[in-house]
Amino acid sequence: MSKSDEILIGSSDAKTFAHGERKKLILASQSPRRREILENLGVKFEVVVADTDESSDERDPRRLVRTLSQRKALAVRDALLAEGRDLSDTVILASDTVVSVDGEILGKPRDAEDAKRMLRLLSGRRHEVISGIALVCGEVQDAAYEVTEVEFDEMDEETVEYYVRVARPFDKAGAYAIQGLASAWIRGIHGDYFNVVGLPVHRLNCLYRSLFDEKIF
């Protein structure tokens, strides 16, 4: 169940970036999981983050993750340009991930009680993990999203209490990480595994190549 929605925001011709040296990459995220994914792919990159307003009234998770990804990338671009940095050969990559169930968007839990509430919602059911990505290079800006369906096993109250106490999933959308302790309760997924981890690798590869006519990996 993989979907995408790519919107070209800038006006520059992406082909003008082709046939030169490979561009530098900046990851606009502090997420160790996103860093690890890029490192395992052999991608050379720099991590730069900037304060970003992540508040939004948007209730469509697909639009929300695109919007927040774009904000993060543009915030880093603007901060670096303000420092006088030349970004003409640099691509800024940002991403945002949420969980959606019953029309409710689950971001990172506020506290232990909120994490338990989220896990009770996910217990014994299927839900969607939606990750947005944004790429910014000069006047070219593009955003896309990926959706992966995840099915959870039943989690009784004792299990929920144990999981939150041990895993402390307060920096995870939906209060779980598929690559961690939560994997013991995941029956299966349909779609991109790395999307659930936090960076949709296949969507990123497709978007990058369509924009810049070169490989990111």
Q: For residues 96 and 142, what is the distance between their CA atoms, to the nearest angstrom?
A: 14
Q: What is the pLDDT of residues 164-184, one digit of tens each?
A: 999 999 999 999 999 999 999
Question: What is the C-alpha separation between 208 and 93, in angstroms, rounded?
Answer: 10
How many other CB atoms are found less than 10 A from the CB of residue 156?
11
124-157 pLDDT tens trace: 999 999 999 999 999 899 999 999 999 999 999 9
The amino acid that residue 23 corresponds to is K
d(CA 27, CA 40): 14
CA quadruple 194, 196, 197, 201: dihedral sign: positive
Q: Indicate whether this model's pTM tops 0.75.
A: yes
Query: Which residues are marked as active site?
Result: 96
User: Residue 98 CB: number of other CB atoms within 10 A?
Assistant: 21
